[in-house]
Structure formats: C-alpha cells, structure tokens
Amino acid sequence: MNIKTVMVIGAGQMGSGIAQVCAQAGYKVILNDLKDEFVEKGLGVISKNLSHQVQKERMTEDEKNNILSNLVKSTNLGDAKEADIVIEAAVENMNIKAKIFADLDQIAPEHTILASNTSSLPITEIAAATKRPEKVIGMHFMNPVPVMKLVEIIRGLATADEVYQVIEDMTKTLNKVPVEVNDFPGFVSNRVLMPMINEAIYTLYEGVATKEAIDEVMKLGMNHPMGPLTLADFIGLDTCLYIMETLHEGFGDDKYRPCPLLRKYVKAGWLGKKTGRGFYIYD
Ligand code: CAA
C-alpha cells in the first residue's frame, strides 16, 4: 500500500511532533484539532523547530518552506476521507478515542489505516469501536517526537500482518526505529518506565533523599538524560498517574500502586512543566 496522505488528530505536543516528522518525510499531512487556534499553535511549534534546524545549517530556508507546504490545517474530521492513514493523538480518554475511531471508520475510505498514539490504552478496545479492527494499530511515538528515535508499534488482537508491515515500513521512512509489541497494559515502554518513575516518587515520599539527589543518582549513576522526577514533570504528572492507574487496574498487582504523593500533586494541579510546577518550579 502506498501512503501519501497522513491525517494527524490532535495538534498538541505529540500530534504536532508527529505531523512535523511526517511532513519532513515528504508526506502530505492534514493536521486536525477541535479549534483553529489549537492547529495554529501546533503549526507555530513546528515552524519554530524547523527554523532551529535552518539556524543550525541542517536545512535550508527553501527546505523548511517545502516541509511547511506539506501541512494542511483542518478542524473537520470529514477531511479523513483524503487520508491513507490517520494517526490519532488526542487526549488519553477511552470514551473520546472510541468516538473518534467510530467516526473515522464511517468517514475514511476502506483502505485507510487507523492508528493511535495512545501511551497505554488497549488498542484492541479502540479497534472494537470500528468495523475494521484489522486496520487498527498502535503507533506510540516518544516525546519530544522530532528527537526520539523509537516508535513502539502495538498490534491489537485483530491487527492484520500486512497492516503491521505497512506501519513498520512507514516508520522507517520517518527516520525512526520501529519496535513490535503486543497489546498489554503500558505496552513495553510505560510498563518499564512508569514503575521506575513511581518508585522515584516513593523514595521522595519516604524521605530517602531530596528530589535533586534522586535525579542526580539516576542521571550520573545510570546515564539517564534526565532524572526520573524531572522526566515525570516533562511527561506531565497527570499522565504519569493515569498510566500507573492503567497498569494497576490492568494487572491487579500492588506493585503498580501509584504513590500517594503523585496523587496529591495531581490533585493540587501541580502537573509538571506544563502548569509551571511539578516536583520542580518552572518560569
Ligand atoms: N522539540 C524538538 N526538539 C527538541 C525538543 C522538542 N520539544 N526538546 C529538545 N529538542 C532538541 C534541541 O533543540 C536540541 O537540538 P540541537 O542539538 O539541534 O540544538 C536537542 O534536542 C537537545 O536538546 P537540549 O540540548 O536542549 O537538551 P538535552 O540534551 O537535555 O536533550 C532531551 C533534551 C532530548 C529531551 C533529553 O533530555 C532526553 O532525551 N530526555 C528524556 C526524554 C524521554 O525519556 N522521553 C520519553 C518520555 S516517555 C514518552 O514519551 C512516552 C509516554 O507514553 C509517556
């Protein structure tokens, strides 16, 4: 199957990053969100990222403009009728995703693959909202999308082999590395990452060390680019809590119990970098 047009649903941090790497790879990209201002904001981030590449002399002004011309704004889900693949990067809420996928199933041509960038929701359940579960798949990009090499590709129970192959090939054209995983809570990335972050929060909660000390141990001792508490702030503490709850509920094992301090911060609205305060304070 020849993919030419990609529709990205959600122009936030993940959606705009996905749109950027697809446009850079030469695909025509329809960037969709609920309001024009959200799409504009996403395009602004993409333009800023590309200007940075021009400044670094990794790309010419012409190349930047070419990439920007691959992007089309959309606030109408009906534009999915033009798409060969839709990559959904909306909020992490099963009801919302199920509704989007059911609508897309009605609108998109028969050949269109419906992918979700969900970080932990079951692909099989999202697929069940459609009449084409064999064409539904997880495409989990990492944040920041333009920098991180991994795309975790998640097979739902019914995902067809040929659909998996198309997505694996497309991922390579984005200059990313595909890794195949099956549909279990948290997949591989968040099943391993989030308990580490949660444990770092427990060590803070129990007074084992300061937040700076915990981050320093993991940065300098384990060569992680960011300490786990900094990373939690970067991901968003609400997202971390949501994923821990998904693991806890999905496996029913107490080892995934979210730390009470994480719950407290989320209740306080201290969600990390995006709200200006999490474990650290941001300007
Ligand atoms: N968008 C585009 N480019 C970005 C960026 C962004 N949001 N953030 C950083 N960059 C670029 C910078 O422009 C810089 O590029 P140049 O070399 O061209 O200048 C490069 O990345 C390095 O940035 P910095 O020098 O500012 O800082 P750094 O060396 O600390 O790198 C980082 C920043 C890449 C974010 C690095 O700290 C890192 O890898 N952190 C860990 C990220 C991580 O673990 N991500 C996964 C999160 S989990 C997830 O996404 C899944 C989930 O479901 C929750």
Please work out whether the CB of residue 214 comes within 6 Å of at least one atom of ligand 1: no
Is 172 annotated in some ligand binding site?
A: no
CATH class, domain 5-182, is alpha beta
pLDDT band at 283 (very low <50, low <70, confident <90, very high): confident
Q: What mean pLDDT comes out for the span 65-79?
A: 98
Is 97 annotated in some ligand binding site?
A: yes
Contacts 24+ apart (CB under 8 A), 201-205: 201/229, 201/232, 201/259, 201/261, 201/262, 202/259, 202/261, 204/229, 204/261, 204/279, 205/259, 205/260, 205/261
Is 25 annotated in some ligand binding site?
A: no
pLDDT band at 225 (very low <50, low <70, confident <90, very high): very high
Please work out whether the CB of residue 147 comes within 6 Å of at least one atom of ligand 1: yes
Residue 1 reports pLDDT greater than 90? no
pTM: 0.96
Q: What mean pLDDT comes out for the span 151-160?
A: 98
**What is the position in ligand 1's atom list of the atom closest to the CA of 142?**
50
Please work out whether the CB of residue 74 comes within 6 Å of at least one atom of ligand 1: no
pLDDT at res. 120: 87
Whether complex ipTM tops 0.95: yes
Q: What mean pLDDT comes out for the span 177-192?
A: 97
From the CA of 159, how far away is ligand 1's center (Å)? 31
Please work out whether the CB of residue 246 comes within 6 Å of at least one atom of ligand 1: no
| CATH superfamily entry for domain 190-275 | N-(1-d-carboxylethyl)-l-norvaline Dehydrogenase; domain 2 (1.10.1040.10)
Q: What mean pLDDT comes out for the span 56-70?
A: 97
Q: What mean pLDDT comes out for the span 161-174?
A: 98
Residues with catalytic function? 119, 140, 152, 190
Please work out whether the CB of residue 146 comes within 6 Å of at least one atom of ligand 1: yes
Q: What mean pLDDT comes out for the span 224-250?
A: 97
Q: Tell me which of 92, 119, 147 to substitute to probe ligand 1's pocket, judged by most ligand atoms within 8 Å of the beta carbon.
A: 147
User: Domain extents for the chain?
Assistant: 5-182, 190-275
Amino acid at 280: Y
pLDDT band at 262 (very low <50, low <70, confident <90, very high): very high
As a whole number, the mean pLDDT across the chain is: 97
- Cα 20 to Cα 38, 92, 116, 272: the distances in Å are 15, 21, 17, 24
Is 94 annotated in some ligand binding site?
A: no
pLDDT at res. 270: 98
Residue located nearest, by CA, to atom 29 of ligand 1 = 225
Is 255 annotated in some ligand binding site?
A: no
From the CA of 126, how far away is ligand 1's center (Å)? 29
From the CA of 49, how far away is ligand 1's center (Å)? 12
Residue located nearest, by CA, to atom 45 of ligand 1 = 143
